[in-house]
Amino acid sequence: MNTCKFLLTAWLLACLQLTSQAATPPPAAPQKPAPITRIDPTFWWVGMKNPRLQLLVHGPGIAESKVEMPAYPGVTLDGFQRLESPNYLLVNLTISPQARPGKLRLQFSGPRKASYDYELRARTTPNDPSKVQGISSADFIYLLMPDRFANGDPKNDNIKGMRAPVVARDSMYARHGGDLKGIADHFDYFKELGVTAIWPTPIVENDMRKVSYHGYALTDYYKVDPRYGSTDDYVRFVQRAHQQGLKVIHDVVLNHMGSENYLFKDQPAKDWFHQWPTFTRGNYRDGTVNDPYVSALDRQLFSTTWFDTSMPDPAQENPLVATYLIQNFLWWVELAGFDGYRIDTYTYSDPKFLMDWGQAILDEYPRLGMFGETWMQPAEGVSQQAFWVRNVFPPVNGFKSNLPGAIDFLLHSAIQEALTKEAGWAEGIAKLYYTLQGDWMYEDAGRNVLFLDNHDVSRIFSVLGEDLRKQKMALAWLLTCRGIPQLYYGTEVLMKNFSNPDGLVRADFPGGWPADKRSAFTAAGRTPQEEEMFSYVRTLAQYRKTHPVLHSGKLMHFVPENGVYTYFRYDEQGNTVMVMMNGSQEAKAVDMARFAERTKDYTAARDVLSGAAVADLQKVSVPPYTALVWELRR
């Protein structure tokens, strides 16, 4: 009996155990961690004027997660937002003025689990006067292409894993190996020349398969191209430049990116880019923005098309895209502390975005210099160029530019015409007068950047038929007219060529590579003509640097007569410089009586370029294709 009871009890217990096992679900499979490939911005700062921060989190399947943040004093998690792509998640934070530097923990839970320590740094720009110094008419900018200027570190020439890893100096459109160290190695060269600011073409990553050397098809908004150096190298580059008394201008592209950018290859959502059924190139007509008679199609073909086949167009009217871009350009200023932004293809961006972007940048960094590429043809006129910067016009279609200055393409065309065409009523050298006459439309035309050539147009020496006289005349105008002068690398040593094909105007600076047969960085390596031109630029630029009247004084010009254009730079202290340009093939005697309102207090002068004394201001003869630059004296 006892045995039977025991067996029955054992059987019942076994059944209960089986029933219990059947009712209990199998243990859950361990959660797969969600690999977070990146978060943009990569880090941020406490104490920014705008307390809101939008984080774009990227990782396979990350959109399935929920986000939590353990308490961090002064920081609140405002929520998160899923996008069309399963690989993105937006996280919104508010960082109060009371927040301190540190790392806040972001926890991602749900089917995909992960955590991320996001860094908040202490700002350095507000209390450091060496950072974000701004750009003004007192500066003399030197534009260069890092890949084509000097190779200071051959170890970064070939980077494994990049799409165009090979340096090939014999190929016009391949990488040649120039880098940040190569630029820094020649800071003394810039200072000897009289340069005060360096403008490299974009230094951000351009990991494109073809023609990546120019930098205008970026593939990572938050990374320096490793063939130039690291992001930390760039920060040190700016610091070292400042220590040497040189400013740095950061070249940026708002309108487009490279097609190998991770944001385009794995798009957060379809509405992050302008999409057409097939590739549609833009019409490049910025006049469609303010044309009162414009067709909707023409307007659309300007602002919502791609700049080129490999340059996707972000949809900046999307507020999420706009915030992403604005934060990126704030990030670079705070990180590196450079002094100005040059904005590529400025007019092509969404007009409202341009206003929001400019306001956000200047609210945070009011001293930052900013000038945009406003590529105008002469027929478009000064009013069209002035429309894109701070001007005297009322808003047009809701757009009122807050951009401080433009790259002055109209004066670029005017100086070329002055030196290549016969003088007429409004032609030849008179073109300078009538273009400057339109300065009334700008809030401050002195913030415009003047140039003779750049990486997109033919070199001035070739345009002028390799005439040394005309080259000097052009440079004299560049360094004495109103605005901020910009010199393209090599113009000072007579580098030449035409822009068709464009690679020809982007040749390597002679002496930037150890294997070069000569170095134009030194007097010994320059030909007699090159040395003559270098000395000409140096003399005038150094004078300009030490004589504020020439860069900050008032401007008065006189209607050109008999092929001679005369203008004066003067100030309230009585400092006066006279510039007289003869744009013709014959020497011209000038009647000085018509300039009496500017010369009546002076009896003599000194030639700024030769140092020679000028004893008689009443009898002046200007040689053909010559610019006299005289400091007037009592």
Residue range 60-75: mean pLDDT, rounded: 96
Report whether pLDDT(212) > 90. Answer: no
Pairing type for strands 88-95 and 38-40 reads unpaired
Q: Which residues of 94-121 are buried (b: 16+ CB within 10 A; e: fewer)?
A: ebeeebeebebebebeeebbbebebebe
The Cα–Cα gap between 340 and 192 comes to 22
Report whether pLDDT(19) > 70. Answer: no
In a domain, 190, yes or no: no
Q: What is the largest CA-CA distance in the chain?
A: 144
Select from 75, 101, 122 the last residue of a domain. Answer: 122
Q: What is the CA radius of gyration of the chain?
A: 30
In a domain, 279, yes or no: no
The Cα–Cα gap between 10 and 16 comes to 10
Q: What are phi and psi of 124, to 5 degrees?
A: -120, -20
The Cα–Cα gap between 19 and 136 comes to 84
Q: Report whether the peptide linkage leading into residue 501 is cis, meaning its omega lies within 30 degrees of zero.
A: yes
Give the pLDDT of residue 164.
Answer: 86
Residue range 313-321: mean pLDDT, rounded: 98
The Cα–Cα gap between 238 and 367 comes to 16
Angle between helices 409-420 and 468-478 (to 10 degrees): 150
533 phi-psi bin (left φ>0, alpha ψ -120 to 50, beta other)? alpha
Residue among 224, 292, 216, 281 at smallest CA distance from 254: 216
The Cα–Cα gap between 102 and 75 comes to 11
Give the active site residues: 344, 373
Question: H or E segment at 430?
Answer: helix 430-437
Report whether pLDDT(439) > 80. Answer: yes
Contact status, residue 273 vs residue 280, Cβ threshold 8 Å: no
In the sheet with 88-95, reading across from the earlier edge strand, the strands are: 38-40, 52-58, 88-95, 75-82
pLDDT grade, residue 32 (50/70/90)? low
Which tokens sit at 319? 């507020």
The Cα–Cα gap between 507 and 282 comes to 29
Angle at 478 between CA 472 and CA 587, to 5 degrees: 40
The Cα–Cα gap between 10 and 454 comes to 94
In a domain, 76, yes or no: yes
The Cα–Cα gap between 592 and 197 comes to 37
pLDDT digits (tens, 9 = 90+) for 223-269: 999 999 999 999 999 999 999 999 999 999 999 999 999 999 999 99
Q: How far is CA 160 from CA 157, 166, 222, in A?
A: 10, 9, 20
Residue range 471-495: mean pLDDT, rounded: 98
In a domain, 575, yes or no: yes
Regarding predicted confidence, which is higher, 567 or 19?
567
CB-side neighbour CA atoms (13 Å) of 416: 20
Select from 122, 155, 187 the last residue of a domain. Answer: 122
Give the pLDDT of residue 35.
Answer: 83
599 Cβ contact partners less than 8 Å away, ≥ 6 residues apart: 578, 592, 617, 632
Residue range 545-558: mean pLDDT, rounded: 98
Give the pLDDT of residue 6.
Answer: 34
Q: Domain with 110 in it: what CATH number? A: 2.60.40.10
In a domain, 289, yes or no: no
In a domain, 627, yes or no: yes
pLDDT digits (tens, 9 = 90+) for 89-105: 999 999 999 999 999 99
In a domain, 96, yes or no: yes
Give the pLDDT of residue 34.
Answer: 54
Select from 78, 99, 122 the last residue of a domain. Answer: 122
Regarding predicted confidence, which is higher, 35 or 551?
551
pLDDT grade, residue 16 (50/70/90)? very low
State the total domains in the chain: 2
468 Cβ contact partners less than 8 Å away, ≥ 6 residues apart: 494, 529, 532, 533
pTM to 2 decimals?
A: 0.94
pLDDT digits (tens, 9 = 90+) for 97-129: 999 999 999 999 988 789 999 999 999 999 999
Give the pLDDT of residue 489.
Answer: 98
H helix runs in 438-571, sequence order? 460-463, 468-478, 528-546, 549-552
Residue among 414, 411, 420, 507 at smallest CA distance from 455: 507
Q: What number of residues does the chain have?
A: 634
Task: Specify the 3-state DSSP secondary structure of 460.
Answer: helix
Percent of the chain with pLDDT over 90: 92
Beta bridge partners of 144: 200
pLDDT grade, residue 286 (50/70/90)? very high
Question: H or E segment at 370?
Answer: strand 369-374
Give the pLDDT of residue 4.
Answer: 38
Domain limits for position 88: 32-122
Report whether pLDDT(12) > 60. Answer: no
Give the pLDDT of residue 521.
Answer: 98
Q: Domain with 564 in it: what CATH number? A: 2.60.40.1180
Q: Look over the chain and give the mean of its residue pLDDT values, rounded to a whole number.
A: 94
Contact status, residue 31 vs residue 112, Cβ threshold 8 Å: yes
Task: Specify the 3-state DSSP secondary structure of 77.
Answer: strand
In a domain, 436, yes or no: no
Residue range 139-156: mean pLDDT, rounded: 98
Residue range 14-35: mean pLDDT, rounded: 45
Residue appearing with tokens 């000085």: 592
Contact status, residue 518 vs residue 510, Cβ threshold 8 Å: yes
Which tokens sit at 379? 């027929």
pLDDT grade, residue 166 (50/70/90)? confident
